Structure 1
Amino acid sequence: MVLAVAAAGALATLLGAVSPAGADEIRDRARRLILDSFVVDGNLSPATWQVNPDCGAGDALGCWDNVSVPTFTVIRDRMGVDLLSTSGNIRTSAQRRVKRVLTSNDIDEARWANHVGVIRYIQKPGAVDIAGVANPLGNTALLARNRAQAWFDDGIRIVQLAYNANENARLVTAAFDSRYGGGSNQDAGVRINGTGNCGGAGAPPCVPLTPLGRQLVDAMLDRFMIVDLSHVGRATALEVARIAKDRNRPVIANHANARAVYADTVSRNHDDDVICAIARTGGVVGVTPIRFMLSNSPLNTGGKWANRELLVDHINHIARDVDCRDDAGRRIRMIEHVAVASDSYVNGMPTPSTWLNVRGFNDRDRWMDLAELMIRRHGYSDSDIRRVFGANLMRVYRAALPGLTRPVLPLDAGNVEPALPRAPRITWSPPQAQRVAPATAYYVYLYRRDAAGNRVFMTVLPAANQTQAQLPRLRANGRYSLFVRATNGAQRVNSTWFDFRVRG
């Protein structure tokens, strides 16, 4: 199957452009996939985004021409993005139709309410106000716990331990603080000087995770927070991944590319060892269209815009080329460990930021265009497109954020939605996770999906014995949706969507 897909992609590349009718069909298919799928952008800034000066009267690049998003559904309806993380402190707002995600349950509550989910994320921990987090006894373990708790209470759910050398230097001088580990730029100086990679023969060692960093990682995992490794140096990244794996928790690098494709001079791209370490935790690497991280090819440096094929090179390497193995020596299916992240404003970066511009990815249609390219020239299936653009990060968020354990429904090989018998019984386990009250009742809302994919309400089914629900006999080969809501009295404590099909 892998060989067939690869061959199909190679053949499409050799044949060049498809017929106009075929091109239109593939473009329509790609747009439908993005709009109909649950799309997750690993790092997107919707609040303080810029007007792109390249937007002309004809809106040739598909840019936005206003400077504020009136409702977050505009993001979803025009970009297809249903869930995003951002460094902005965005609050839940019914008027703007945005749901702040504090637990994994909030993701599904946002879908239920037709809102866009937003996860608060910090890249520079030293830049976040930590007033009141004191450590008069010099107890670094207590300091780490207090810091993680302060971030958690402020609604932060994703934290990066280090950003770059300058940020770490500032952290060293901050009151009651110390750096947590190595930033990517600290490893970069070795490569810039031409002496090889950090940790190599004749090169300085990579900057490790510090004792305070280890305690902070443990404190974050205790609170079901996610550790991000995007700007983190090699040795620190490998150690964080080891700790997380020992605790059966995923980590992410939500906007970092593959160093095997391009060894950028600031060490922002991760080598295969780090990529595989992230995958072994169950985590995800989010490729990003940042120009200086794509290539030093003339396609990238010869003009104002980078070539968008360069981004697919990084996706292909992670999804198809890198050979990652689990502890038993089995090859990991890497298509399940790659995602996407804009790392920009909703409508892209303004023209002066040419070091970030990538032709075709600096506008609101970036993920539709990328999906089209992956299908048309590289042979990616619909199920793989759904994984890369949402399902992989959703799996990580469900496993890593606080919330209740969800049902596990059987998946056929190659699919991202379960196939159930015609009279299915839905079973799930209600063990309590961090800071979420246990459920006392479950309700199952059943919908059928029409030919256009719209949900048509059918019935509400209270769960039998609080852990099971017997569904009515369903139409063979039909497509359905479930919304499961768990409550504890008036309090909602768990909810989740299931889109599934019925076996013929």
Structure 2
Amino acid sequence: MTWTAAAAMLPWEARSVPVPTANAADAGIIVNALGGLDDPNRDSGGGLVPEFSPRVLSEAHASGLTAVNITLGYVSGPDDPFEASVRDIAATDARVRAHEQDLLKVLTAGDIRRARAEKKIGLIYGFQNGAMMGKDATRVDIFANLGVRVFQLTYNPANQLGDGSMAPENRGLTPFGREVVARLNECRVMVDLSHSGEQTCLEAARVSKAPISINHTGCRAVTDLPRNKTDAELRLVAERGGFVGIYFMPFLNASGHAKAEDVVAHIDHAVQVCGEDHVGIGTDGSVSQIDDLTAYQATLAKEIARRRAAGISAAGERPDTYPFVVDLRGPQQFHKLAQLLQRKGYSSGRIEKILGLNFLRYAETIWGS
């Protein structure tokens, strides 16, 4: 199925009257605020840089995806964080150039629109750990100049910027963390508080001169796990003009076995707390589904063991908890989510906001058009 044919099937495309709250030219834009273009059926060798295989690119087009924030740079491990991050950016740049008919590096909100117009997938370069800052906040300038547009301050543990969601002290931002936030504001880079501890998130939202984001999370009021955000965090981020993306992860259900209905429940709660203009999706997954779940379980068990040994795992992740939603995956995941939201009574305009327009608006605020 071609991208055009798939997009034509999407319910928010097939409407007779333009949505008054959205620019008609932006209708149908789908932005995954945190995801990937990797093939989960192939061994990546532990690296973050995706290979952009023909299957993945084909399925990304078929899904209707316009742009995705991909994780580059250091997250954990023995490598030097700064060197590893620069190396990943360079490697990804090279692969984007090799696939320029399919991919476009996103630097501004206008590039998301350009990706859709040119039938390409926009790649937003993002970090999920601020460890590459070392002790020098001016490194923000280096990475901004290299095209990094999303900067998540912490992963699950604490780092030199602040406490992550699994840091028991919940101490909030460090003085250096505040310095980095200020520098990110100056360089017009998104400040992302996914994976952060509650105090780190609240303090960042208060001290940042620009709205902040939580690009991939769930709602703790629905499922009480550390990787999910409290209503206080969600509300403050929204009140200050920010963005919240709901993920397709096991943390959406206390059993660890999340379903599509859980995704809808967390989106609905976030909309009630934040308002419909501040909620989107950040699936934390790929558009290519796993072909053999039985074989994948062995790989998953090894990955969970590695994460636990490295001290970066989160409460709620186990060898039997898939890092995706079993009945909301593959190229039809956005289409299916739209249908589920429609059945819940969401209007086409609200669905369009959640699937992409809210992130686009937020991106314009931070990066410019």
TM-score, normalised on structure 2? 0.73
From 287, 292, 314, give the equivalent of 1:346: 287
- 1:30 corresponds in structure 2 to 11
From 119, 125, 146, give the equivalent of 1:120: 125
Contact persistence 1:31–1:368 (CA under 8 A): no
- 2:348 corresponds in structure 1 to 382
- 2:102 corresponds in structure 1 to 97
Residues 285-321 of structure 1 deviation map (CA, whole Å, 9 limit, x = unaligned): 1111111x1122xxx45xxx5332111111111113x
CA deviation after TM superposition for structure 1 residue 32, in Å: 4.4
From 231, 253, 256, give the equivalent of 1:295: 253
Change (3 A) 1:77 1:372: same
- 2:336 corresponds in structure 1 to 369
**1:180 and 2:152 correspond:** no
Q: Percent identity?
A: 27
- 1:255 corresponds in structure 2 to 216
Q: Distance in 2 between matches of 1:96 and 1:71?
A: 15
Change (3 A) 1:71 1:364: closer
Matches within 5 A, 1:115-264: 115-126=120-131, 128=132, 143-144=136-137, 146-165=138-157, 168=158, 171=159, 179-187=160-168, 206-244=170-208, 247=209, 249-264=210-225
Contact persistence 2:127–2:152 (CA under 8 A): yes
Contact persistence 1:71–1:98 (CA under 8 A): no
Amino acid of the structure 1 residue aligned with 2:162 = G
Amino acid of the structure 2 residue aligned with 1:379 = G
CA deviation after TM superposition for structure 1 residue 81, in Å: 0.7
Aligned-partner SS, 1:185: coil
Contact persistence 1:157–1:226 (CA under 8 A): yes
Contact persistence 1:360–1:369 (CA under 8 A): no
Unaligned ranges ≥5, structure 1 = 1-26, 53-66, 134-139, 172-178, 188-204, 325-333, 405-504
Aligned length, in residue pairs: 298
Q: Distance in 1 between matches of 2:39 and 2:262?
A: 25
Q: Distance in 2 between matches of 1:153 and 1:28?
A: 39
CA deviation after TM superposition for structure 1 residue 107, in Å: 2.5
Looking at CA atoms only, which structure, 1 or 2, has the larger radius of gyration?
Answer: 1
Contact persistence 2:338–2:351 (CA under 8 A): yes
Amino acid of the structure 1 residue aligned with 2:58 = V
Contact persistence 1:70–1:96 (CA under 8 A): no
CA deviation after TM superposition for structure 1 residue 95, in Å: 3.7
Amino acid of the structure 1 residue aligned with 2:107 = L
Aligned-partner SS, 2:66: strand
CA RMSD of aligned residues (A): 2.8
The structure carrying a bigger strand percent of its residues is: 1
Q: Distance in 2 between matches of 1:106 and 1:319?
A: 27
Amino acid of the structure 2 residue aligned with 1:220 = L
**1:270 and 2:261 correspond:** no
CA deviation after TM superposition for structure 1 residue 270, in Å: 0.5
Unaligned ranges ≥5, structure 2 = 1-7, 16-25, 43-50, 73-88, 301-319
Contact persistence 1:40–1:84 (CA under 8 A): yes
Change (3 A) 1:184 1:28: same
Change (3 A) 1:51 1:240: same
Amino acid of the structure 1 residue aligned with 2:35 = L
Residues 252-305 of structure 1 deviation map (CA, whole Å, 9 limit, x = unaligned): 1111011000111xx1101010001110121111111111x1122xxx45xxx5
**1:79 and 2:84 correspond:** no
Change (3 A) 1:29 1:110: closer
Residues 391-415 of structure 1 deviation map (CA, whole Å, 9 limit, x = unaligned): 00000111111x45xxxxxxxxxxx
Aligned-partner SS, 2:248: coil
Q: Distance in 2 between matches of 1:317 and 1:156?
A: 31
CA deviation after TM superposition for structure 1 residue 28, in Å: 5.4
Residues 222-280 of structure 1 deviation map (CA, whole Å, 9 limit, x = unaligned): 00000101101111101110122xx2x2211111011000111xx11010100011101
- 2:308 corresponds in structure 1 to none
Aligned-partner SS, 2:151: strand
CA deviation after TM superposition for structure 1 residue 124, in Å: 1.8
Q: Distance in 2 between matches of 1:392 and 1:231?
A: 21
TM-score, normalised on structure 1? 0.55
Aligned-partner SS, 1:240: helix
Contact persistence 2:70–2:123 (CA under 8 A): yes
Contact persistence 1:72–1:115 (CA under 8 A): no
Contact persistence 1:40–1:82 (CA under 8 A): yes
